[in-house]
């Protein structure tokens, strides 16, 4: 990677002949010292390849290597001149502009970057040249070049990843379980009226199903979280977009986030045209409504743990405060999954999740993750008796943050990374087909990704790590019902103990649909609801 540009320096007045005679020496000094400062290999530094002057403007043509990009070189030249001009000639510098800045890359890359400072991207003769618009000094002071270089590197790495979000490697699996049930619980739940669709990916859960979901939460809390000392906290469910900027979600997953807008004004009088419109047309017109709203400043709960990092931000911890072990289950998460991907409670727009979060030293974070894994395994095997498998997934975001690398055949899980928990859904088909498996939860060690982004500190200066684990309640219930069915006798002892006083589902003259009324009653009897 090489850089090129022309630093145009405008002085407060035309310099005297004497200074211009000195300029060749100044350029030599710059090339031999200033523009090589801090680099071992001169190729990595910068050099002035030509210069010219006219009236009060001096222009330096600069070529530079990786370590002293052209914008840094331009600033160094300016500071150097400033001293000489000020001291000997009482001349100041009015303006510094970098003209025709270019980033020159090896190879003909097909990269596409659409940001306003880029003028052109062209590749030919084994090179790719990115030309920027002229940069004024305030832009040169910002790390724009560095970020552009990072962005290009990221795009290149990403291509090598094949556009995937994560790499998947199985690390553990349960025994095969005898499958006695093959129906699709999504369909049954809707037919018997336990769940009712409200909008794409959003459902109303009637009391029997709500009861089952809550009991699964209770089992997780009683059997995994409380014994390990996790405490409940309540996190907000609408987050300022600035949080998403720090976590990286705003950049990485804007296509899946649901954004929220507040009204332009609190003054109801300003809504008079809207009120008149609604009165006359009785129509919820979103385009007209939009004109009364601000641009989105929030997004609805997406990953659930980010408010935890925001809370930790700038706090300083010592040994006695650590580790912190919390969980949140105070409200739903929202994800736009695209219109095609939604299906029953398998993939929802509004779903419920218990989010488990922890902070500590790297050793503490690994140990907590390992204890959680042990309990999760017990939960999957003994409490629910599921057929499951775990996969080490190397998420792109951790690779990009430099927290982890993709691994070969031998996997060391005691480092930043994610383990996905998947369950077999018999109604989907054969076990051999990956599509028959559903991610029901996961557990991650983030390394210092978030403690760095949110500046969470240890008083001693040593590094702090975080971890999180998401328990998607609907998905665990779906996995359980898919494998065990609605027959109470097929459920494990613990589940039977927890789900005892199941309320019966609602019946109205036309609900559930009359053709399924008998099915509803039969199922409710099988799960142990005493029907009248």
Residues taking part in catalysis: 305, 335, 337, 347, 355, 420, 439, 442, 468, 475
CB neighbourhood size of 301 (10 A): 25
| Dist CA 478 CA 438 (whole Å) | 10
Among 325, 329, 475, 520, binds ligand ATP (CB under 6 A): 475
The dihedral formed by the CA atoms of 161, 416, 470 and 197, expressed in degrees to the nearest 10: -10
If the CB atoms of residues 472 and 512 are measured against Zn ion, the closer one turns out to be 472
Angstrom distance (rounded) from CA 459 to CA 504: 55
> Which entry of Zn ion, ligand ATP, none binds 305, CB below 5 to 8 A by partner kind?
Zn ion
Q: Quick check: 449 binds ligand ATP (CB under 6 A)?
A: no
Q: At what angle do helices 473-484 and 207-220 cross, to 10 degrees?
A: 100
Own/partner contacts of 37-42, CB < 8 Å, gap of 24 or more, are 37/76, 38/67, 38/68, 39/65, 39/67, 39/68, 41/65
How far is the C-alpha of 391 from the C-alpha of 416, rounded, in Å?
14
Answer yes or no whether residue 470 interacts with ligand ATP by CB under 6 A: yes
Measured CA to CA, the distance from residue 368 to residue 389 in angstroms comes to 20
Quote the Cα angle for 263-268-270, to 5°. 75
Nearer to Zn ion by Cβ, of 91 and 305: the residue is 305
Contact code string over 331-350 relative to ligand ATP, x by CB under 6 A: ----x-x---------xx--
Which position among 216, 351, 392, 450 is part of the footprint of ligand ATP (CB under 6 A)?
A: 351
CB-CB neighbours of 92 under 10 Å: 11
Q: Do you know the residue count of the chain? A: 532
**Residue 173 bridge partners (DSSP):** 389
Torsion angles phi and psi, residue 115, rounded to 5: -130, 150
Q: Whole-number minimum distance, CB 223 to ligand ATP, in Å?
A: 18
The single-letter DSSP state of residue 275 is H
- Cβ partners under 8 Å of residue 404, min gap 6: 394, 398, 415, 416, 417, 447
Which residue has the CB atom at the shortest distance from ligand ATP? 472
Q: Which residue of 15, 472, 505, 512 would you call a contact of ligand ATP, by CB under 6 A?
A: 472
Query: Residue 474 interacts with ligand ATP (CB under 6 A)?
Result: yes
Give the residue from 118, 44, 117, 46 showing the smallest Cα distance to 76. Answer: 46
Residue 70's binding partner out of ligand ATP, Zn ion, none, with CB under 5 to 8 Å set by partner kind: none
By CB under 6 A, is residue 133 in contact with ligand ATP?
no
* Touching ligand ATP, residues 352-371 (CB under 6 A): 353
CB of 247 to ligand ATP, least distance (A): 12
Looking at the Cβ atoms of 430 and 434, the one nearer to ligand ATP is: 434
Radius of gyration of the chain (CA): 31
Q: Judge if the upstream peptide bond of residue 512 is cis by omega within 30 degrees of 0.
A: yes
In 161-206, alpha helices (H): 185-191
315 or 347: whose CB is closer to ligand ATP? 347
**Interface with ligand ATP includes 389 (CB under 6 A)?**
no
**99, interface contact from Zn ion, ligand ATP, none, CB < 5-8 Å by kind:** none
State the binding partner of 335 from ligand ATP, Zn ion, none, CB within 5 to 8 A by kind. ligand ATP
- Using CB under 5 A, list all residues that contact Zn ion: 303, 305, 468
- Pick from ligand ATP, Zn ion, none: which does 474 bind, CB < 5 to 8 A by kind? ligand ATP
Pick between residue 5 and residue 395 the one whose CB is nearest to ligand ATP: 395
CA dist., res. 525 & res. 342, Å (int): 30
Nearest distance from C-beta of residue 482 to ligand ATP, angstroms: 14
Taking CB under 6 A as the criterion, the residue among 140, 440, 464, 477 binding ligand ATP is 440
Which of 355, 375, 249, 276 has its CA nearest to residue 308?
355
Q: Given the rule CB under 6 A, which of 78-86, 153-161, 288-296, 469-477 is the region that contacts ligand ATP? A: 469-477
CB of residue 41 to Zn ion, shortest distance in Å: 42
Cβ-based nearer residue to ligand ATP, 29 or 343: 343
**Of 87, 82, 121, nearest in space to 105 by CA:** 121
Q: Please state the closest distance from residue 308 (CB atom) to Zn ion, in A.
A: 8
Please say which residue, 148 or 440, places its beta carbon nearer to ligand ATP.
440
Q: Residues 162, 165, 169, CA angle at the centre, nearest 5°?
A: 90
In the complex with ligand ATP, the residue whose CB is nearer, 71 or 353, is 353
Q: Where are the alpha helices (DSSP H) in 36-143?
A: 70-84, 137-141
Estimate the crossing angle of helix 70-84 against helix 144-160, to 10 degrees: 170
Q: How far is the CB of 160 from ligand ATP (least distance, A)?
A: 21
Within residues 241-300, the interface with ligand ATP by CB under 6 A covers: none
Helical spans, DSSP H, in 381-432: 396-400
Among 441, 447, 467, 505, binds ligand ATP (CB under 6 A): 441
Q: Which residue lies nearer to ligand ATP by CB, 148 or 479?
A: 479
| Binding region for ligand ATP (CB under 6 A) | 335, 337, 347-348, 351, 353, 439-442, 470, 472, 474-475
């Amino acid at each position: 990677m090489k850089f090129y540009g022309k630093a145009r320096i405008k002085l407060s007045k035309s310099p005297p002949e004497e200074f211009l005679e000195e300029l060749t020496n100044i350029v030599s000094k710059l090339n031999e010292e200033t523009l090589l400062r801090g680099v071992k290999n001169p190729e990595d530094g910068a050099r002035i390849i030509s210069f010219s002057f006219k009236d009060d403007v001096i222009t330096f043509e600069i070529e530079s290597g990786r370590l002293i990009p052209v914008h840094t070189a331009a600033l160094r030249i300016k500071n150097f001149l400033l001293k000489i001009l000020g001291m000997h000639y009482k001349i100041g510098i009015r303006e510094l502009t970098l003209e025709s800045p270019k980033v020159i890359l090896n190879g003909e890359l097909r990269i596409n970057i659409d940001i306003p400072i880029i003028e052109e991207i062209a590749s030919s003769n084994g090179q790719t040249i990115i030309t920027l618009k002229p940069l004024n000094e305030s832009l040169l002071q910002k790390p724009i070049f560095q970020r552009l270089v990072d962005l290009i590197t990221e795009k290149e790495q990403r291509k090598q990843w094949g556009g995937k979000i994560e790499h998947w490697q199985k690390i553990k699996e349960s025994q095969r379980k005898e499958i006695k049930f093959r129906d699709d619980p999504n369909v049954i739940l809707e037919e018997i009226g336990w769940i009712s669709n409200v909008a794409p990916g959003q459902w109303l859960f009637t009391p029997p199903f709500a009861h089952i979901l809550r009991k699964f939460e209770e089992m997780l809390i009683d059997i995994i979280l409380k014994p390990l000392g996790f405490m409940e906290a309540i996190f907000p469910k609408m987050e300022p977009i600035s949080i998403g900027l720090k976590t990286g979600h705003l950049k990485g997953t804007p296509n899946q986030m649901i954004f929220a807008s507040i009204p332009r004004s609190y003054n109801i009088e300003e809504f008079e045209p809207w009120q008149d419109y609604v009165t006359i047309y009785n129509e919820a017109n979103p385009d007209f409504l939009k004109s009364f709203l601000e641009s989105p400043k929030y997004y609805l709960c997406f990953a659930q743990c980010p408010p935890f990092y925001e809370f930790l931000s700038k706090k300083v911890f010592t040994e006695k405060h650590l580790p912190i072990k919390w969980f949140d289950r105070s409200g739903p998460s929202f994800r736009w999954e695209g219109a095609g991907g939604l299906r029953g409670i398998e993939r929802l727009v509004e779903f419920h999740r218990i989010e488990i979060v922890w902070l500590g030293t790297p050793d503490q974070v690994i140990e907590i993750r390992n204890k959680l894994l042990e309990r999760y395994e017990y939960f999957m095997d003994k409490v629910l008796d599921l057929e499951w498998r775990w996969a080490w997934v190397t998420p792109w975001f951790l690779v990009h943050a430099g927290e982890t690398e993709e691994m070969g055949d031998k996997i060391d899980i005691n480092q930043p990374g994610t383990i996905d928990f998947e369950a077999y859904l018999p109604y989907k088909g054969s076990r051999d087909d990956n599509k028959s498996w559903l991610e029901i939860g996961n557990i991650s060690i983030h390394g210092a990704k978030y403690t760095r982004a949110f500046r969470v500190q240890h008083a001693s200066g040593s590094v702090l790590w975080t971890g999180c684990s998401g328990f998607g309640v609907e998905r665990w219930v779906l996995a359980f019902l898919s494998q065990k069915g609605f027959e109470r006798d097929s459920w494990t002892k613990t589940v039977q103990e927890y789900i005892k006083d199941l309320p019966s589902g609602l019946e109205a003259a036309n609900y559930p649909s009359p053709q399924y009324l008998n099915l509803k009653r039969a199922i409710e009897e099988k799960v142990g609801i005493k029907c009248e």
